[in-house]
Structure 1
Amino acid sequence: MLSLPSEAVIRRARGSDHTTVTLTLAAAFDKDPVTSFCVRADARHWWAMHVAFKRALDLFQPYDLTFVANDGQGAALWARHDQWQLTFWQEWWLIPLYLRVCGIDRFMRLDRGFDSMKSHHPTEPHYYLYLLGVHPDHQLQGLGSALLCTMLERCDREHMPAYLEASSPRNIPFYRRHGFQVIEEFTFGPGGPPLAAMWRSPS
């Protein structure tokens, strides 16, 4: 049985959490290699980070696999393997938004990066961890582990593997401690930062 930190209160996210969780994820991923590669770096950077993560929350909320820690100090966005990819029309509808988030040149980086992620994504049934972030003010307190373990317990009950892409090398040991192993390394599109594809078989 995976154990959770006693001070962590984990629950499913509600629509009313989105403002707080958007702030949390924007802060958590502000220095992330992928967001640094794709999101505009000018005076509108912080606005762009908020918009990008708000949209991610909106897209993943219908799957009912988004969890928050302590009312928004951390969050994890999950989906089944057959849920997470957008339809052609969803992608088309998002183009104007992401052009503003990234700028024209960096939008192409984002587009090619997502294509790379899709091409390397496993086809075997699994649960996919799209994002896990804890606000910098609350990191190193066990909230990331608590968020992760909540869903990994479900994976074990359902005998379902889990998959993620680690965008920062410093996060790989964290995921290894929870049973994930690196199965492949690739870049987030041409010239993009390296991603470690990680897989966890159910215990």
Structure 2
Amino acid sequence: MRRAEKADRALVVDILVKSFHDNKSVNHVVKQDRHKAKRMKGLMEYSFDLCLSFGEIWISDGNTGCALMLHPRERKQTLRSVLLDIKVAIFAIGLLRVASIAKREQAIKNHHPKGDITYLWFIGVDPKYQHQGIGSTLLLNVIGRSKMAQRPVYLETSVLKNVAWYKSFGFEAFETLEFSYTLFLFRRTG
């Protein structure tokens, strides 16, 4: 496993686009039109750029999986981050949908504590390589790094089969949010 660098952007984006193509939560954020594939790619590029600046990105051995961790307290408002926000609003979300997506994001953040946390934004494995332990190895890395930094881990999923998977790693489902789908909020404090 290795920490991603700027040169890994295309690789990480490709893994995430493949992994989250049918994800209810991601598809709720990305405007659903004939440009869906480009919009999803834009969302994943945005996520990569933010985590590279204000978090960590880890790539599995074999370059088949990745985990994007954001450290929200480290996030600074810079000209670059504002431009990234504008770009994702226009090209991934769609301007007419920004307010509703911002409301969704705020509903999620309202359930996070004010202190330092690790926000596991995305963990994905190329579908051709799933069920081989790659995601588990990535998740254990996230847990270990967060433990060393004394940060609880927060995440959410809209994928029902992932609920039991996260619980098996000691995560607690502490809340659900209802949109056009159910979003399960998880935390791991130890």
> What range is the shorter-chain TM-score in?
0.7 to 0.9
Greater mean alpha carbon deviation, residues 164-173 or residues 122-131:
122-131
Name the TM-score, length of structure 2 as normaliser: 0.87
Per the alignment, residue 122 of structure 1 pairs with 113
Matched position secondary structure for 2:185: strand
Matched position secondary structure for 1:184: strand
Greater mean alpha carbon deviation, residues 103-112 or residues 135-144:
103-112
Distance 1:196 1:20 in 2: 28
Name the TM-score, length of structure 1 as normaliser: 0.82
Taking structure 1 as reference, are residues 21 and 67 closer, same or farther at Cα in structure 2, changes over 3 Å only?
same
Q: CA deviation at 1:132?
A: 0.8
Matched position secondary structure for 1:132: strand
Deviations, residues 46-96 of structure 1 (Å, cap 9, x unaligned): 111111101110111023521011353111111335135x63964576234
Taking structure 1 as reference, are residues 160 and 55 closer, same or farther at Cα in structure 2, changes over 3 Å only?
closer
Distance 1:27 1:113 in 2: 24
Per the alignment, residue 184 of structure 2 pairs with 196
| Residue 77 (structure 2) pairs with residue 87 (structure 1) | yes
In the TM superposition, 1:1-203 aligns within 5 A as 10-63=1-54, 65-84=56-75, 87=77, 90-91=81-82, 94-187=85-178, 191-202=179-190
Number of residue pairs the alignment of both structures matches: 189
Q: Is the 8 A contact 2:50 2:70 kept in 1?
A: no
Q: Is the 8 A contact 1:81 1:123 kept in 2?
A: no
Q: CA deviation at 1:112?
A: 1.8
Greater mean alpha carbon deviation, residues 122-131 or residues 88-97:
88-97
Q: Any gaps of 5 or more consecutive residues in structure 1?
A: 1-9
Partner amino acid, structure 2, of 1:108: A
Provide the identity percentage. Answer: 25
**Higher relative contact order structure (alpha carbons within 8 Å, sequence separation ≥ 6):** 1
Q: CA deviation at 1:185?
A: 1.5
Taking structure 1 as reference, are residues 87 and 158 closer, same or farther at Cα in structure 2, changes over 3 Å only?
closer
Matched position secondary structure for 1:108: helix
Deviations, residues 127-163 of structure 1 (Å, cap 9, x unaligned): 2211111111111111111111112123334444222
Q: Any gaps of 5 or more consecutive residues in structure 2?
A: none
Distance 1:63 1:102 in 2: 21
- What is the root-mean-square deviation of aligned Cα atoms in Å? 2.3
